[in-house]
Chains A and B, each alone.
Chain A
Amino acid sequence: MTFASIVFAVLFYGATAVLLIGVGLRVARYARTPAPLKIPTTPAPTSRGGVIGRMASEVVFFHSLFKANKWIWILAWVFHVALLLVLLRHLRYFIDPVWEWVVLIQPFGVYAGFAMLAGLIGLWIRRIFVQRIRYISAPSDHLMLGLLIAIAASGLAMKYLWHVDVTAVKVFFVGLMRFEIHPLPTEPLLLLHLALVVALMIVFPFSKLLHAPGVFFSPTRNQADNPREQRHTSWAARVEHTGAAAAPANRGGPVPNARSED
């Protein structure tokens, strides 16, 4: 067992815990917070089934984004579909024996790596050169694209430039899932790739990547348009809640001593 194996084992356990617990807590918070009023963006479906359809068209096709801007849409959609394929392709490092369909998508997964890179670079070019989007970007928005590009590029480099012993990598990850630590190859590129993935997992619950769970909780998209037919009553929940929030301890509340100088 090498030093690297131990460090990366710890990193992956830690990052997985942060990701799952962090996102879990966020989702629980979203679910717990009342939606006091009916605010679907209309025209909206009038039934639960219709809402599921609307949500599916948002999540699968980015329907609203399609209406908004074809350039952002195509780049974003290519990037996300490719990301999904790439993630599925990576299942082969965690499952033994590898499921049939995971084997089938392997070749697509490789093309997807390039598509993902292309989509991300396109998005970054827009972020840098379109004045409006540059204006709304914080350094973290650029960094996030840089991080994903670095992950994709280091992954593809291992595939095409500096090969890595993937069988040993698989032994390492399957081992982790059984709480055993096996040796991890120590090619710098692999360690870089893995370290970046760890970073992504850790920032996920604290960053705009929360859009992935968030979209399902967006009241303008997940509410049915039926306020006359069905009385929406989480208003009452809000009133109770407000009473509770007025109590001294408010979770996630403001830090005292708001500084006024900058």
Chain B
Amino acid sequence: MADFETPEVKEYLDMPELKPGAMSHSKPFVSRDEFQGPLGFPGELVDDWQNVALAKLAELLNTNRGLKVFMDSCVKCGACTDKCHYFLGTSDPRNMPVARQDLLRNVYRRYFTWPGRLFPKLVGAQDLTEDVLDQWYSYFHQCSECRRCSVYCPYGIDTAEITMAAREVMNAVGKGQKYSNEIIGKVFKIGNNLGLPQPALLDTLEGLEEEVKEDTGVDVRYPLDEKGADVLLVTPSADFFAEPHVDGLIGYGKVFHQAGISWTLSSHASEAANFGLFIGSQENMRKIAMRVREAAEELGVKRIVFGECGHAWRVAYSFLNTLAGPFDFLDPRYPVPQHICEVTHELIQRGALTLDKSANDHRRVTFHDSCNVARASRMGNTPGGQFTIPREIIQAVCNHYYDMPPDTIGEATFCCGGGGGLLTDDLMELRVKGALPRMQALRQVVEQEGVTHLAAICAICKSQFAKVLPYYGFEMDQIVSVHQLVSDAIVLEPARQNT
């Protein structure tokens, strides 16, 4: 099914021999006019693209302190060189984080620093040529913006920020990526990434209600656009029907039902994902984020809760207050927004949920920390809650839980290989190869602990794993939603009164 070889999973991760140019052919489809326009970007490469690109870069350097500091500060120490899953999986040295940064930094040096203007060869400065733009397009679409490198850099240089800046510059000259930009357009037009209009959502949710009724005999509701509900749930649209996502959505509904919390989804904000982040466009990110605020105001809810999605939680947790706040019209007793795991965890702690762990006895579970949750957000009140809370939930609903090796989880977690706007079929080779470090860690617990399932709290991770697990000899249904495990263990009682 593919013209590349799946990397071999060894006992331990090898440090690859460098293979320069090994992935220079990897490029996602270029966006077209119809997808660029709605986002405010030119439809094709503009005539004086170099000047436009440099002007855009100047603007970003003047408006983003991180970018400016990161451009200047790298000492080429090499600490980050072996930290990127795409480097480990492809052996292409351009996928070493610092080498990826240098694609932009070399141009920065050439046009914005004296040594680069005067002695370009000496400092590795480069003119912004068509060839360079081509390399940008290739390698800035081989970064999932996972921030693993930023954990290890002595100055916290975050290649994700640099990738975002480069993508923003590319969009400004009309060389955008089709996958991300088309999806953002769908959110503006219809309300979600998948382009599901309100009637289709209603239909799906009614189907879920019937399904749960059939399975459990209980009337669990999956409401849409219900004014006056306490909680607005914003969840990635993949949760409406993709596998295993939808089993997670079923789980959220059961949790709310069991806790007696009234809740609703919104068709206006029927998408938690915010691909504005991926393309580094703060304007587009803000427009998408505003939909959540608008929905909350319109429906008159008291709380906003986000479903399982990694980058969505980053935007929600870290940026929503900045982009669409202040949220002083919501109930001040709850943080804005909350993660569904925070809600479920708190209910479990209070003993508000009846759980039958044995329902999951056929599973031996491990947990994949999604990069944006791990390294760009938090859950609960203490740093690191994003690691403990999901694990405590799983351990409350499963008898068999095992962690993968410590250098592959927590803040050191490896990306699934499909994040950051790369979850598209035109990048399949990259996605498969980038999954290698995670697959290697998974194999270890599969062999040593007999692990059967990989649980995740990210729509992208779930889709990516469903696709790449088979390449590595696993089954696609070995990836599960955390709230799917909750869903299976929860003992439902017929309707409870709203509190």
Contacts and interface: CB of A to CB of B under 8 A. Distances in A.
Interface of A: 26, 29-30, 33-39, 41-46, 58, 62, 64-65, 67-69, 72, 76, 126-127, 130-133, 135-141, 143, 203, 206-208, 210-211, 214-215, 217-221, 225, 227-229, 231-233, 235, 238, 241-242, 245-246, 250-256, 258-262
B114 interface: yes
18 contacts: A36-B63, A41-B151, A42-B377, A44-B378, A58-B155, A65-B77, A72-B79, A130-B78, A136-B102, A140-B122, A219-B69, A219-B156, A220-B158, A221-B156, A232-B321, A238-B63, A238-B282, A255-B111
Interface stretch (B124-132, B293-301, B414-422, B423-431): B124-132
A256 B75 CA distance: 29
Contacts of B128: 258, 260
- Closest 3 A-B residue pairs measured CB to CB? A254-B54, A138-B124, A214-B73
Interface string B4-37: 0000000000000110100000000000000000
A30 B61 CA distance: 10
B62 A33 contact: yes
A136 B98 contact: yes
Interface string B252-287: 000000000000000000000000000000100000
Given A132-B18, A231-B325, A256-B51, A68 B65 contact: no
Contacts of A218: 66, 69-70, 73, 155-157
In this complex, the member of A46, A127, A211, A251 whose beta carbon has the largest number of chain B beta carbons within 10 angstroms is A211
A41 B74 contact: no
Interface string B144-167: 000100111111111001000000
A34 B73 contact: no
B50 A139 contact: no
Contacts of A136: 76, 78, 81, 93, 96, 98-99, 102
A225 B115 CA distance: 36
B65 to A, nearest CB: 4
B495 interface: no
B69 A253 contact: no
B121 interface: yes
Contact of B50 (A30, A133, A258): A258
Nearest to B74: A208
Contacts of B156: 41, 58, 64, 215, 218-221
Contacts of B51: 254, 256, 258
B179 to A, nearest CB: 23
B115 A140 contact: yes
Contacts of B325: 231
Interface of B: 17-18, 20, 50-51, 54-55, 57-59, 61-66, 68-70, 72-83, 93, 96, 98-99, 102, 111-115, 117, 121-124, 126-131, 147, 150-158, 161, 282, 317-319, 321-323, 325-326, 335-337, 374-378, 382-384, 386-387, 411
B59 A46 contact: no
Contacts of A141: 76
B62 A132 contact: no
B282 A65 contact: no
A231 B127 CA distance: 40
Chain A CB within 10 Å — which of B79, B374, B376, B411 has the most? B79
A26 to B, nearest CB: 7
Contacts of B321: 227-228, 231-232
A225 B383 contact: yes
Contacts of B155: 58, 211, 214-215, 218, 221
A254 B58 contact: yes
Contact of B378 (A43, A137, A252): A43
A15 to B, nearest CB: 15
Given A131-B18, A258-B51, A260-B128, 17 more contacts: A37-B322, A41-B150, A42-B378, A43-B411, A46-B382, A58-B155, A68-B83, A68-B153, A68-B154, A139-B122, A206-B115, A207-B123, A218-B70, A238-B63, A254-B51, A260-B129, A261-B129
